[in-house]
Amino acid sequence: MKRYHALVVLLLCLSPAHAADKPAAKVAVVKPVVAKPAMRIVGPDEVEPGELVILIAEVPDGAGLDWKICPPEAVSKLYIDSNKRVAVFSARAKGQYIFSLAVAIEGKATCLVHTLINGGDNPEPDPKPDPKPDPKPDPKPDPDPDPVPVPGEKFVLVVAETDGRTAELATALMGFRAWLVESKHTWRYVDPDFTAKNTKPPKWFMAFVDDLKKAKTDGPVLLIGNLSDGLVDGIVVEAMPATSAAAIESVKQRGG
């Protein structure tokens, strides 16, 4: 009888009901990581005067949006739809227009910038003139000496990635552009992947590619040259200064 009772107790200990009293092992649940799409303004970089331009804001749902345009007087040519995700613009006046979009998400603000060239800001400069060879060159020339500052009209080119344009850069460019226009200098602002409507880089831009490579920077680049009779020479290339005052000073140091 004692053996019988011992067997019953052993079976009860091994039964599923008894095993259910033990706490279940914890299993870690890994949540899938979903990459957030980059916010941007999608639209053309260059159009003909009077051509209809449609800009689309690729931003998360529920974001607060506020569009601005520079120069401010062009706001009369800008239409924003009711959800503020689409901006429509058309102007016959040639020039360069900078659209900025303030995006507010959960109390945090981000600024997106898009630059549009409407028929060209100024007449395109011709390629750089061929340098005349020196019949008696210096046997030990200085490596890439800086050109002597020449007073007069300058050709100023700012090159910056569209996706990398920050609010600080937009602010610096607006002040810089206003001074260049007031000082009657010729200027352009383009993306390094800038292409004309025929999908090929324009000849005037290709003339400065080798100079731009000398900047040795991954950030925005500032190119300054002397402009005379449509030709550019005496080129200096450097990293784009962080403020409009510093950029203006760079042009002034070259005679601007």
Tokens 């324009």 sit at which residue? 202
User: Tell me, what amino acid is at 2?
Assistant: K
- Rounded (5°) CA angle 184-248-210: 85
d(CA 148, CA 151): 10
pLDDT confidence of residue 222: 92
Distance CA 95, CA 145 (A): 34
- Pairwise CA distance, residues 38 & 77, whole Å: 28
Query: What letter would DSSP give residue 3?
Result: H
Looking at the chain, the whole-number percentage of residues with pLDDT higher than 90 is 17
Question: How many CA within 13 A on the CB side of residue 168?
Answer: 7
Q: Give me the count of residues in the chain.
A: 256
The rounded mean pLDDT for the chain is 77
Q: What is the pLDDT of residue 1?
A: 52
How do residues 156-215 score in pLDDT, each as one tens digit?
998 887 666 677 888 888 889 889 988 989 888 887 765 555 556 677 788 888 888 888
- Hey, what domains does the chain have and what are their CATH numbers? 37-121 (2.60.40.10), 148-256 (3.40.30)
How far apart (Å, rounded) are the C-alpha atoms in residues 225 and 149? 10
- 59-113 confidence digits (pLDDT tens): 998 899 999 998 888 888 898 988 899 999 988 888 888 999 999 998 888 888 8
Quote the CA–CA distance of 49 and 157 in Å, as a whole number. Answer: 21
pLDDT at position 121 is 47
pTM reported for the whole predicted model: 0.52
Measure CA 226 to chain center: 26
Check pLDDT > 70 for residue 9.
no
Place of tokens 């520079």: 70
98 neighbors 53 (Cβ within 8 angstroms): no
User: What's the CA gap between 146 and 170, in Å, rounded?
Assistant: 28
- pLDDT per position as a tens digit, 62-72: 899 999 998 88
> Please, are residues 256 and 224 in contact by the beta-carbon 8 Å criterion?
yes
Paired tokens of 168: 């600080």
| 38-52, 104-118, 152-166: segment of lowest average pLDDT | 152-166
95-104, 129-138, 244-253: which has the minimum mean pLDDT? 129-138
**Would you say 250 and 238 are in contact if contact means Cβ atoms under 8 Å apart?**
yes
